[in-house]
Structures are given as C-alpha cells and as structure tokens.
C-alpha cells in the first residue's frame, strides 16, 4: 500500500477507469473527428466526453488535488510539490479512430514530481494494469482476480532485444531498421506498450524524439516502476517530471532491467532526436 492512497482510493480509480474505458467503444460510431494542429494531431468528441467524466469523478473524491487532462482547454503547470492527477482519456486517438484496438485510457498520480501510482485500461481486452512503487504492478481482466507481475529478468548488453519504437524515431533514424541486435514490435498506446513489456511480448519501449507529455507517461511509468522495470533516458537513469509545464524534453526508455545500458550501447550517439 502506498502512503498516498489507501485501498479504497485505488479501487475507486479502478472502477472509474473501467467505466470510462467501457464507454469508449460504445460511443465510437457517433464521434466527430477534429484536427488540432494538423492531420497528424487529431482529437475526437469521445476524448472530450471521457475527459469530462474522469475529471469530474476524480474531483469528487480528491477535491484538494490538482487534475490535468490532455483535453483541458488550457494546461496548468505541474508544480514542484503537491498531488497532481494526469489523464489521457484516449491514448492512441488515431488507433481509436481506426478501430484497431491499440488504444487505452490512462490515469496517473504524481506527488512532488514523482509518479506514485498508475492505471491503464485496455477497452478491447477489458483489462486493467495498475500499480506503483512499493505496491507492485497488477493485471486484472474483467471477471477475473488480479494477478501481480513478477520481476522480469535482466537484459544483457549483448542480448537480442525486442524494441517498441515510434514511427517518428524510425523515420529519423532509418539505420535502426538494420540494427542486428533488435527486432521491432508494433503497438499503439504507450500504456499498451508498457503492457507488452510486462507481458513478456517486448523487452523495452524507446522514445528518442522527446516531447512526450506528462499525461503520456505518468500512469505507465508508475506501473513500470511498480514492476521494477527500468525507467530513464539515454542520458539519465530516471525520468524527471517537469516542475513547471507538461513536456518531457528528454528521451524515454521503459523496459526490463538492463534496458538503459542496452540502449546506450546499441543506439548511442548515432540517434537523431528531431
């Protein structure tokens, strides 16, 4: 149990994210699609509907806490101290629009700039991942008891690795396609990417181009840390959450123990970040 949340709090958010996640496929046929900054940056009316639901119900229980959703009209700063809830109502909106199942609903709690607990719900599988440092990381499918993930084995520097890498990174670094020690695994939402690592279907998620938002990472990072995964970047052994603002300027690596050294050895200084 964490000092920041009791079991009733954890179960409350579990029920909330499952409720929002179950709503997503139900309302998909009636959505409107809106371009934010261009054709590769889209949002739907479902994103807004789920955001409104989650924000309101979190506020009902945690009225003193700061709550930030991706779909807020204006984004508040994170702040150095205090409790901040970060929401991505549909992570993988393009996947949601395409109806390929590779999207999720994500909620994370950050306290004093540290991710302490996360929830990721995969609507197509009706499965929730939840946990955080000191609590462990758990998987629970609908109608089943929750099960705790065991710690994954160490990834040696000379080991062949299965990487989940974004399309922008592969476009900017075409040489990665010929990397001899790697196989690439494709999936959509960041929450599902971390889920694949936990499930043993990939070894690490790597995001090199920077600019991930804190609502992209808060829930998945807390879940990863709860399972003793490594979380950091090419130049840092941990992922820092900004004291002001909502953007990670650094690369992000989440994977089996040993993933940070593996990336530094095999990706190194040849990677382009832009």
Whole-angstrom distance, CA of residue 157 vs CA of residue 267 = 12
Which residues, at least 6 apart from 252, have a Cβ–Cβ distance to it below 8 Å? Answer: 205, 206, 207, 212, 217, 231, 233, 239
CATH assignment of the domain containing 51 = 3.30.540.10
For residues 166 and 242, membership in a common domain is answered with yes
Q: Of the candidates 120, 148, 176, which is a domain's last residue?
A: 148
For residues 28 and 67, membership in a common domain is answered with yes
For residues 139 and 260, membership in a common domain is answered with no
For residues 179 and 95, membership in a common domain is answered with no
Mean pLDDT of the chain: 92
For residues 88 and 170, membership in a common domain is answered with no
At residue 2, does pLDDT exceed 90?
A: no
pLDDT tens per residue across span 92-150? 999 999 999 999 999 999 999 999 999 999 999 999 999 999 999 999 999 999 999 99
pLDDT tens per residue across span 121-133? 999 999 999 999 9
For residues 18 and 43, membership in a common domain is answered with yes
At residue 31, does pLDDT exceed 90?
A: yes
For residues 99 and 190, membership in a common domain is answered with no
Asked whether residue 156 is assigned to any structural domain, the reply reads: no
pLDDT of residue 236: 94
Work out the pLDDT band at 271, boundaries 50, 70, 90: low
pLDDT over 90, % of the chain: 80
pLDDT tens per residue across span 241-265? 988 889 998 999 999 999 999 999 9
> Going along 62-148, which residue ranges are E strands?
66-69, 83-91, 104-111, 114-122, 127-132, 136-141, 147-148
Asked whether residue 1 is assigned to any structural domain, the reply reads: no
For residues 195 and 172, membership in a common domain is answered with yes
pLDDT tens per residue across span 195-214? 999 999 999 999 998 889 99
Q: Which of 17-21, 180-184, 218-222 has the lowest mean pLDDT?
A: 180-184
pLDDT of residue 3: 62
Work out the pLDDT band at 38, boundaries 50, 70, 90: confident
Work out the pLDDT band at 169, boundaries 50, 70, 90: confident
Asked whether residue 109 is assigned to any structural domain, the reply reads: yes
Mean pLDDT, residues 181-194 taken together: 94
The SS3 of residue 257 is: coil
Asked whether residue 154 is assigned to any structural domain, the reply reads: no
For residues 108 and 173, membership in a common domain is answered with no
At residue 9, does pLDDT exceed 70?
A: yes
For residues 180 and 249, membership in a common domain is answered with yes
For residues 14 and 144, membership in a common domain is answered with yes
For residues 122 and 186, membership in a common domain is answered with no
Tell me how far CA of residue 265 lies from CA of 61, 170, 200, 253, 268, in angstroms.
46, 18, 22, 13, 6
Q: Of the candidates 148, 174, 195, which is a domain's last residue?
A: 148
At residue 70, does pLDDT exceed 80?
A: yes
pLDDT of residue 251: 93
Asked whether residue 36 is assigned to any structural domain, the reply reads: yes
Whole-angstrom distance, CA of residue 193 vs CA of residue 169 = 15
pLDDT of residue 274: 46
CATH assignment of the domain containing 254 = 3.40.190.80
Total count of domains within the chain? 2
Asked whether residue 116 is assigned to any structural domain, the reply reads: yes
Asked whether residue 97 is assigned to any structural domain, the reply reads: yes
pLDDT of residue 162: 97
Domain holding 210, by residue range, is: 161-270
Q: Of the candidates 115, 148, 181, which is a domain's last residue?
A: 148
Asked whether residue 153 is assigned to any structural domain, the reply reads: no
pLDDT of residue 272: 52
Mean pLDDT, residues 232-239 taken together: 94
């Amino acid at each position: 149990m964490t000092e920041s949340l009791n079991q009733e709090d954890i179960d409350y958010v579990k029920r909330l994210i499952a409720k929002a996640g179950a709503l997503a496929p139900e309302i998909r046929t009636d959505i409107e699609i809106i371009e934010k900054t261009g054709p590769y940056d889209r949002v739907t009316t479902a994103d807004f509907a789920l955001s409104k639901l989650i924000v309101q119900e979190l506020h009902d229980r945690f009225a003193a806490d700061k709550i930030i959703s991706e779909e807020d009209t204006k984004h508040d700063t994170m702040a150095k101290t205090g409790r901040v809830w970060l929401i991505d109502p549909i992570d993988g909106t393009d996947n949601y629009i395409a109806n390929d199942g590779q999207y999720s609903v994500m909620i994370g709690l950050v306290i004093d700039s540290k991710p302490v607990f996360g929830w990721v719900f995969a609507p197509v599988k009706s499965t929730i991942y939840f946990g955080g440092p000191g609590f462990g990381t758990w998987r629970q499918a609908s109608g089943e008891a929750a099960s705790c993930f065991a710690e994954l084995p160490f990834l040696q520097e000379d080991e062949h690795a299965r990487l989940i890498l974004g399309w922008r990174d592969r476009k900017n670094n075409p040489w990665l396609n010929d990397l001899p020690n790697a196989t690439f695994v494709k999936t959509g939402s960041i929450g599902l990417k971390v889920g694949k690592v936990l499930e043993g279907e990939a070894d690490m998620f790597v995001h090199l181009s920077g600019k991930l938002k804190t609502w992209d990472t808060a829930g998945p990072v807390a879940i990863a840390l709860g399972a003793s995964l490594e979380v950091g970047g090419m130049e840092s052994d941990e992922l820092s959450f900004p004291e002001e603002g909502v953007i990670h300027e650094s690369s992000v690596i989440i994977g089996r123990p040993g993933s940070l050294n593996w990336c530094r050895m095999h990706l190194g200084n040849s990677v382009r970040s832009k």
